[in-house]
Amino acid sequence: MPYPPKAEGSISASNLKELGYQYRYDAKNRLVEKKLPGKEWEYIVYDKLDRPILTQDANLRASNKWLFTKYDAFSRPIYTGEYVNALETSRTAIQTKADGSTALFENRQVANRSIKSFSTISRTIMNHYQTILNDFDNKSTNASAESFNAKIKAFRSRFRGVRNIEFFLFRLTNIYA
């Protein structure tokens, strides 16, 4: 365990608690508990693919809460949130529960991405592409429209000029629809 100079080479329980960096690993050599100077123990729970799915510090532990992370099929985090469990409060109990889970990733179900839905989106964008591709004239638009405009501008900046507008709109709907 590394000790800062303030510990002056003395290994005591109080120095360890206040100044020591402590780490605990499970049988799979994953970091499951860590204690940093001035903080209480932090816990980490992993899924079957060794991705951290739950984390908990002392503040969350007081209210039986965990921060969770959900992943897609490519192990990219897709969303996070709070998980409350008043029944299993220890890290090992929750790890056992996670080990028994069969879900490895979240599926994003897109409702029927058919040619018909593409045509509707394509027509809408085609009719308004001048407004979308240029900056909004009316600055009181909603945030999602401005976010979409920013995504389109970022997409265009990567490809410097669009020669085939139809293909551009097709790619755009597949990426952001």
108 found inside a domain: no
110 found inside a domain: no
107 found inside a domain: no
Query: Which are the contacts of 133, defined by CB distance < 8 A and separation ≥ 6?
Result: 152, 153, 156
37 found inside a domain: yes
| Structural domains of the chain, count | 2
Instruction: Please report, in tens digits, the pLDDT of each residue of the chain (177 residues total).
Output: 566 666 666 677 777 777 778 899 999 999 999 998 888 999 999 998 899 999 999 899 999 888 888 888 888 888 888 888 878 888 888 888 888 888 777 765 545 555 555 566 666 666 665 555 554 445 555 566 666 667 766 666 665 666 666 676 777 677 765
148 found inside a domain: yes
161 and 87 share a domain?
A: no
The DSSP code for 41 is -
Residue range(s) defining the domain that contains residue 161 = 115-176
Q: How far, in Å, CA of 96 to CA of 56, rounded?
A: 16
122 and 170 share a domain?
A: yes
139 and 166 share a domain?
A: yes
Residue listed under structure tokens 């299993």: 88
For residue 93, give both structure tokens.
Answer: 């109990």
Query: Which are the contacts of 97, defined by CB distance < 8 A and separation ≥ 6?
Result: 88
125 and 158 share a domain?
A: yes
67 and 13 share a domain?
A: yes
109 found inside a domain: no
Q: Give this prediction's pTM.
A: 0.56
